[in-house]
Amino acid sequence: MKKIIIGFVTILIVNFVFISVAFAQIEPNNSQSPQPIGTNSIQPSPSPSFSQPTGTSPLPSNSNSPLPQQSQNVSPSPSKSPVSSDSDSLVVNIAKKINAILVIPEDILVFLVSNISFITEKNVLVVQFYFYMIFMLFLVGTIAFEIYNWIKKIKPWGTIYDSKSKQPVGLATVRLFSAEEKKLLQTVVTDQEGRYNFLVQPGNYYIEVIKEGFHFPSRIITSDNDGQYTNLYKGENISINKENAFLSSNIAVDSSKEVVAKKFSLSFIMIVNYLRLPLLVVTTIIALVFLFVLQATSALIIVIVLAVFWFSEIYYALKGHK
């Protein structure tokens, strides 16, 4: 489950990056009114402007020589950088090729061009390209999760896990017996991830799990599936029909309440022992500061209570050394 959540978060982050790149590459075009899809916008060509060439003296009026042709002062069209034009054309060409795969409906395109200023008829293919990229990311993510689920089902090991916490049980002893002869055949110990397996030949077998503080078979889990754990073994005989087969069923075990309570109490006692004195010292210092600075009655009461605690600590410490 943790890997699935990480995968989904990764896909969302990558999608956000792609959308950000798309918005960064699409320049706003507020000066040009949006044109509907399918119409050709033809602008009249501007008439050339003529001007006297810079740096030449005016011609005399009595000159018999023919007038020179007046030069056209045509402003050069702005040129795009080769890298930018190549990348834009590449995106547009890819968008045209994938247009048959992922087609945005015409009415949606008209709505986008008419209502969003930076989407025009020119760059609508770029927008469609990034929609396709987002779709492909979700598709690849779905395929990856399916492959992961498939690998998990055919993995050559089983897992011993706690039926309550769903956590793997490490260092559990797993024994394989022959169903006919009741004979012990193999014994393995699970790793820290609770994994085990047996390589067996055709025959009938059953499994026993031994771990202090746990009971097998589970009385809590009685179905064949338990969330991420599938193909559960519950103590029945297993029939194997092919050579060199892996026996790797997942097995749930129930933790005993006494052990859980004991572990919890020991952990609580350890936490108290580690934090008791540091907390007492820090609280006493703060209370003394409040007492001398604020001179409040509440601070005095707190200091008296802390003094009782200090007396108790010193008393039991001296008693333990006797």
Mean pLDDT, each 10-residue run in order, the chain (322 residues) = 52 56 47 45 46 48 48 48 50 57 58 63 63 62 57 74 90 94 93 91 94 91 81 90 86 76 54 67 74 68 78 65 44
Q: Is residue 65 part of a domain?
A: no
Alpha-carbon gap, residue 221 to 16, rounded angstroms: 41
Q: Give the domain CATH number at 187.
A: 2.60.40.10
Examine the domain organization and report whether 226 and 262 are in the same domain: no
Clarify whether residues 5 and 107 are in a common domain. yes
Task: Give domain status of residue 303, yes or no.
Answer: yes
The verdict on residue 74 lying in a domain is no
Two structure tokens written together for 204: 């009938």
Whether residue 55 is contained in a domain is answered as no
Residue 199's Cβ-count burial label (10 Å; 0-12, 13-18, 19+) is: exposed
User: Are residue 136 and residue 166 in the same domain, yes or no?
Assistant: no
- Residue 308 shares a structural domain with residue 282: yes
Q: What pLDDT is recorded for position 67?
A: 45
Tell me, yes or no, whether 124 lies in a domain: yes
Shared-domain flag, residues 102 and 13: yes
Whether residue 89 lies inside any domain: the answer is yes
Rounded Cα distance between 196 and 187, Å, is: 10
User: Is residue 71 assigned to a domain?
Assistant: no
Q: Judging by DSSP bridges, how do beta strands 232-233 and 195-196 pair with one another?
A: unpaired
Count: domains in the chain: 3
Angle at Cα 99 formed by Cα 32 and Cα 138, nearest 5°? 105
Tell me: do 268 and 296 sit in the same domain: yes
Q: How remote is the C-alpha of 81 from its chain's centroid? A: 38
CA distances from 107 to 38, 104, 111, 114 (A): 11, 9, 6, 10
Domain span including residue 194:
158-255
Three-class SS of the chain: CHHHHHHHHHHHHHHHHHHHHHHHHCCCCCCCCCCCCCCCCCCCCCCCCECCCCCCCCCCCCCCCCCCCCCECCCCCCCCCHHHHHHHHHHHHHHHHHHHCCCCCHHHHHHHHHHCCCCCCCCHHHHHHHHHHHHHHHHHHHHHHHHHHHHHHHCCCEEEEECCCCCECCCCEEEEEECCCCCEEEEEECCCCCEECEEECCEEEEEEEECCCEECCCCCCCCCCECCECCEECCCCEEECCCCEEECCEEEEEECHHHHHHHHHHHHHHHHHHHHHHHHHHHHHHHHHHHHHHCCHHHHHHHHHHHHHHHHHHHHHHHHHC
Q: Is residue 210 part of a domain?
A: yes
Same domain, yes or no, for 202 and 262? no
Cβ-Cβ contacts under 8 Å for 103 (sequence gap 6 or more): none
Instruction: Give the end of a domain, one of 255, 284, 299.
Output: 255
Q: Do 198 and 97 have their domain in common?
A: no
6 and 148 in a single domain? The answer is: yes
Same-domain pairing of 135 and 170: no
- Report yes or no: 120 and 42 within 8 Å, Cβ to Cβ: no
Is there a single domain that holds both residue 212 and residue 266?
Answer: no
pLDDT at 177: 95
Q: What is residue 71's predicted lDDT score, i.e. its pLDDT?
A: 46
Last-in-domain residue among 237, 255, 273: 255
Same domain membership, residue 131 and residue 27 = yes
Please say which residue of 205, 224, 255 terminates a domain: 255
Q: What is the pLDDT of residue 296?
A: 61
